[in-house]
Structure 1
Amino acid sequence: MEGKNQKDATMTPLSAVVEAFEEMAKLLKSRKEDQQLRLDTFCEACSLVSVFFGCLGLAFKFAESEYLSKIRDLEEGSKTYNTLQDIINADVENKREAASRAYQQVWAQYHRWSVRTAVAAGMCTLPAREKLLVKLKETDSSAEKKMRRYISAADTLIEYIDSRYLSKNISLDW
């Protein structure tokens, strides 16, 4: 246990994200078709990503707030639903897809504009690459290696989530 605490104390934020996502990817790759990803595990790994918003500067505070709100909703859901599949099933039963589609048809165009505008403004305040790496406690080389690992692990998770929605005949527009 002491060795793990020492490792955690020296781990950079990017390392923590990469390891959490790789662990989930490894779990998903090793599982049989009927085994599922625990919602609390998914939430814990996703919550680690929020550190990046702070590194991007004040202009991305809105994105961090929205992201953390979604994570809190999922964490709250994990008190009722054990797995990601369980919460997707509940979404289907609650007709959230219909509500989501109605939102997309009526309001999303306005929300997208505001988000696009905020992102465009935020791009002007992004820290330089070197400053971002310092904030993340990474070098060019270490960040590149870890991001490649993260992307690989995230691909596995995205495929898993896609398959859960597609198994319910819910199309994803991403």
Structure 2
Amino acid sequence: MILYLHGFRSSPQSFKARMMAEHMQRLGRADDYVCPQLSASPLLAIQQAEQILAAYLPSEITIIGSSLGGFYATWLAERYGCKAVLLNPAVKPPRDLEKYVGVTTAYHSDEIFEFKAEYVPELRACEVVAITQPERYLLLAATGDEVLDWREMVAHYPGAQQIVIQGSDHGMADFVDYIDQVIVFCDEKA
């Protein structure tokens, strides 16, 4: 099973989430993929993911997290012992998202998106200072990420399998080139 966690202000309609869903469909494995619409509240987003995780053994599920979803995936992988694939993950979202407190719209719709000041401490409560069992992680970090620093990502996941993509962008426009490697990692037994 693959649980995909999208990023900040994003949705299951993001480029990578749709690409994963379509790829799993082509493989005849659509039932092995889930990507919920996450709450703006980090606490509620984590609870949403935990409800899905509760139906599986840690060895039966891999979490794929993009950007802020990568931050959540890291916390969940540490807590539940499952594997995680991190796509340009946010490493320090309490620092990076503080400036986004307020009301805006979601990226893939005109839906109102509110990031409240009380969400910043919720993010702090989910910080993972250092990962354990780096073999459970696959990191894809793009040097051309215009939002997050790929060097912070690499430094935060020492010992993990790492693919540093030269160029690209935060949305990882060339994700199609790596999707098969992601699926292989997800399917490998922990």
User: TM-score, normalised on structure 2?
Assistant: 0.25
Give the structure, 1 or 2, with the largest relative contact order (CA under 8 Å, sep 6 or more): 1
Answer with 1 or 2: which has the greater Rg: 1
More strand by share: 2
More helix by share: 1
User: TM-score, normalised on structure 1?
Assistant: 0.27
